[in-house]
Structure 1
Amino acid sequence: MRDAFAGSSAGYAEHEHPDLAAQYVYVGRQPILDRDGALHAYELLFRAGTYNYAEISDDAQATAQVVARTIGGIGVPAVLGQHRGFVNIDRALLFSDIVHLMPPERFVLEILETVHYDASLARRLHELRRAGFQVALDDVHDLSDELSAMLPYADIVKIDFLQTPRRTVAKLAAMLRAHGKTLLAEKVETREDFALAHQLGFDLFQGYFFARPQVLAAPRNRSLRPGLLRLLALLSRDAGIVELEAELKLNPGVVVQLLRLVNSSAFGLGRNIASLREAIIATGTRQIARWAQLLLYADTGELPWRADPLVHLAATRSRFMELAANWLRPADSEFADAAFMTGIFSLVHIVLDSTPDAVLEKLGLAPQICEAIVARKGELGALLLIAEVAGEGGDAAPVARAAGFPALTPDVMSELNLSAAAWFGAHVAESGV
């Protein structure tokens, strides 16, 4: 259901605070209730701001943003709890790999009324249902030939109570029940509508009579588009793990999203991730490609990454820590990997406008990395403290000596800082963005 409610349930209107609102991403959700009035699911709705109505110019991009924000931004548990989410799907996304980013047990594919039936659509819906997805037909309001053709490939039919004459509602309900379909009454706005739908045997109910959509917000991630383009280029030519790892090291924001994907209910790995390589292997290149496609579609690209000081700081700090770890233990690649991860995630709480504890708890990082970031404990914590002091132009030599790293002399650290900055600068020059 694409809604058009023009009221506001938020504490402020985005148009009145554009600078503040631009720092956040939004998702609307409207409850779907069962016959007993209990919460059954949510429909997830695109929202450009805190105002509670949709401004959609591109169905595919709106859905991509809803999915990206639900999975990678706000988080599935926060948005859906233990319930399913209905997501509007147009034809382009229906045939895209992006669909498979959504765990079938958590998302229902709500096929927009603009999607017309043909043999290709039938095959695709059959494939998706075999993969475990439930399919809902949106905004049904008459007994059309198109509806009859689509029925074998649908589980749920949403009947629009605003557009459908009451006599037609009764006929539709009887026909759909005879086909064994789950009936959902949408845009139910009065007690009389609800009573009629209940009497006619509808299974699920949605509309302003029960609840208007609620708008959820989360801090907006920095623009990921240039890095995503390069990552997709590597994936398209079947690049190896070494190349993917090198590219991801340059894109802290993409790494954060990757870690969230690894720890989503779609994977349920139940183990901590201590390196980018582990994250890549655990996720798989196909899922990384799907996620990158979705983020690329959803990203607004408001700030060039080369001009973003936080991206620059995260990239150079993590590279400095990797180089320092290599200097201290040339044969210990795991230590260098963990040092790089520590550097990247030491700043992620700023990007997400949260605290280190709150952010790291959701990412499933190895304990030594979390302890280093939160409490500056262990060798990684010492390296992080050294990187912070050195990055601010301070004298990090006393910190290095106190940590048991006398090999990190002022001359060595100066060279490592220059190398880290040159590494990032060279990438900016090569990318041309």
Structure 2
Amino acid sequence: MTTRSPSLEHSPALIARQAIVNSEKSVIGYELFNRSRAPAQHTAASDVLLVFTALSHAGAEDLVGDKLLFVNCTHESLAGGHLELLDPSKIVLEIQDLGHSASAEAHLRLPMLQTLKQRGFRLSFGHSVLESVYASWLPLADFIKLDLTVLPRQQWGVLTQYAQKNSTAHIIATKMETAEQFDLLLHMGVKLFQGFWFARPAVFEAKILAPRQASLVELIGLLRRQASTDDLEDVLKKDAGLAFNLLRLINSASFGIQREITSFRQAVLLMGLKKLFRWAALLLAATKYADTPPSLGQTAVVRGRLMELLAEEFLTEEETDMAFVTGIFSLLDVMLSIPIPNALQLIHAPELVNQALLQHTGPLADLLTLAKACENNDDSAFDEVAEKLGLTNQQINWAHLRALAWSDSVDG
């Protein structure tokens, strides 16, 4: 049964996200920010209120598990009562600098920031907090963001060393665009990163599939060909860990199975090959491999779940299942390090999935465009496809937050 979104009536804004990852490229949190189709109808403060309202309706602790949510704030919004509704341990408040008025206002804003810190919120600042005018703010910093598009490269190491020496804050390198930047900053001692690069990494040099990947690809292919249960079990017998992880995933509370499934043969009887295809596809994305960044699988899982939740609004049950699989397989080329046409052929992908990923046509192509737009700054694509699909801000926001929560419960 579809879970309807809570009312977020008074905001025209839309939530977008960007992952924050650690040095192992595992997601530790998300920055949530506003993407609005009607900028003249809202203020910066109302944008923040939208995010807080959405989080408080859902319960941030339920939405993010052990992930942090970084929320852009105006100084005006920090005084609002909506903060009282949130669990501060899950929220990082991103504090704006004061621009030209910093020398006059920094000390006036300090009591509010101290109060928020005492209440348990973590505070994040831009690199301007390292300037002398913000000296009173620096001890409050839990995170400091270095904007790589603004700072000259020769300043990266200097600012990192200064921040490490004069604060206890974690440094986050933001607007990462290349692997070379990642390696350089890692060498400088930076351990947290953010940027569009993590959502669209380049395909790695072709390599042999990891054993677990090979087993999953073989299993998915057999499921698509509707092979016999004996043939399916033969694959699992060769990889006991795969069988265990698949059954653990199927029995996870987040998937709503009413009775415990104790064997793969039982899973086939109770669920059917089509549903098992879905879980095997999910496991392919969720499983951690030595050469594949964990953030990549996390992105694929969020895409799949977001597309599925939105598809429930207007597509058939079968198309909704295929929406989920399309999102999962949208990064299959990077996960397997082979071109996407070859990857889809290898697993005998359904026609609806092929249409969306290869021809960019069919009922799922626009949903995929929307899911990708939630990860990047292509506002025009986002606006166009949201309007074309006839989805409201409320529907998109609620599905997006639920997809983030659901993906955090998946651990391959």
Question: TM above 0.5, one fold?
Answer: no
Q: Kindly indicate whether structure 1 or structure 2 has the higher relative contact order, using CA contacts under 8 Å at least 6 residues apart.
A: 2
Could you tell me the TM-score, scaled by structure 2's length? 0.42
Q: Which has the higher helix share?
A: 2
Could you tell me the TM-score, scaled by structure 1's length? 0.40
